[in-house]
Chain A
Amino acid sequence: MKKYLIMAAGAAALITGVALFADDDERYERRVYEHSKTYMQTNPQKRALNEFETTYQKECGSCHMAYQPEFLPKRSWSKMMDTLDNHFEVDATLSPNDHKTILAYLTSNAGDSKYTTKHFSRMSNSVPRDEAPLRISETPYFMKEHKGIPKRFIEQKEVKSLANCSACHTTAEKGIYSERAINIPNYGRWDD
């Protein structure tokens, strides 16, 4: 009996969740806003994931690191989300609901959104206004920062490509890319 009650409670919670999610757009926008407002102000290590981030982590983070939205401008994320059927030659299409959630999350936290920090948006700010790169590694600031790294470090099997941030930036998933946290496989610490 207890088991049934737990299941019933679970089902009820699910229904409530769906009902909340299906609420009108205005409420939806406000929740994105509330999320964004606190996003960079909270200690990233302690910050609890909200539904937008959870969806982003689950859907995008299952194939590659869930890159921080601050790294690209809004126009890049819009273009990215418009071309998921051929996402770097992989099918990354989403359900309409997840698509909406992730697009809202990415654009409202993008490098040119009002919630980003100066420090975090350097990559995005280095992109010429008339360009909308899809690769973070093609932004001028990124290229400058990674210029001196020998190809063999990047192409080795533990790293594979520049897209694999956390291979060397040990705290990348927490949004911390400090030099102290760099550890290149088969090499070690990196000092500029």
Chain B
Amino acid sequence: MKKILTVLGLSAAFSLAAPIEGYMQTLADEAKKADAGFSGFDAKRGEKIFISEHIGKKGKSISCASCHSNDLNKAGENVFTAKVIEPLSPKANKERLTDIKNVEKWLRRNFNDVYKREGTALEKGDVLTYIQNY
């Protein structure tokens, strides 16, 4: 019984640290590997990634903000399907940035949709920093 409690206790301890912090660290390690001069993520760079427009996968000029809106505390609307997208900022939407699997999936998809390629660790870290600090 004691053993079981210890195991359960350990798994509880694991879930205490916010998963997003672990993920940001992974991205930072990767960014450092790619560029030894890496000195941390930057929300300003992240903002530029988020609001600048590019010819995306559909051949239309779009940005992340096209669907998520310029105000991250407000709901957005999918520019192609009109489906409402809940606010992206964790301040306005507690569920945001809690599920890493979900975060990775959307970064992969949306970078492809807007930039027609996946984001680098630096870009992903920057844009997440922008969202976290919004």
Contacts and interface: CB of A to CB of B under 8 A. Distances in A.
Contacts of A72: none
B73 to A, nearest CB: 19
Interface residues of B, number: 23
Contacts of B12: 4, 7-8, 11
Contact of A4 (B9, B108, B109): B9
B109 A92 contact: yes
B98 interface: no
Contacts of A186: none
Interface stretch (B41-49, B80-88, B119-127): B80-88
A65 B101 CA distance: 22
A8 B9 contact: yes
Contacts of B11: 8, 11-12, 15
Considering residues A12, A90, A158, A161, which has the most beta carbons from chain B within 10 angstroms of its beta carbon?
A90
Contact of A63 (B15, B59, B83, B101): B83
A128 to B, nearest CB: 27
Contacts of A89: 57-59
B105 interface: yes
A64 B57 contact: no
B57 A158 contact: no
Interface string A1-29: 00010011111100100000000000000
Contacts, number: 63
Contacts of B101: 95
Given A65-B83, A160-B81, A167-B82, A93 B15 contact: no
B61 interface: no
Contacts of B78: 63-64
B26 interface: no
B103 interface: no
B18 interface: no
Contacts of A88: 80
Nearest to A161: B81
Interface size on A, as a range, is: 20 to 34
A6 to B, nearest CB: 9
Interface in B11-60: 11-12, 14-16, 57-59
A157 interface: yes
Given A11-B8, A91-B108, A93-B109, A62 B80 contact: no
A159 interface: yes
Interface in A84-115: 86, 88-95
A65 to B, nearest CB: 7
26 contacts: A7-B12, A8-B12, A11-B12, A11-B14, A12-B8, A12-B11, A15-B11, A62-B85, A63-B78, A63-B81, A63-B83, A64-B78, A64-B83, A86-B57, A88-B80, A89-B58, A90-B57, A90-B113, A91-B109, A91-B110, A91-B112, A91-B113, A93-B105, A158-B82, A159-B82, A167-B82
Interface of A: 4, 7-12, 15, 62-65, 86, 88-95, 157-161, 163-164, 167
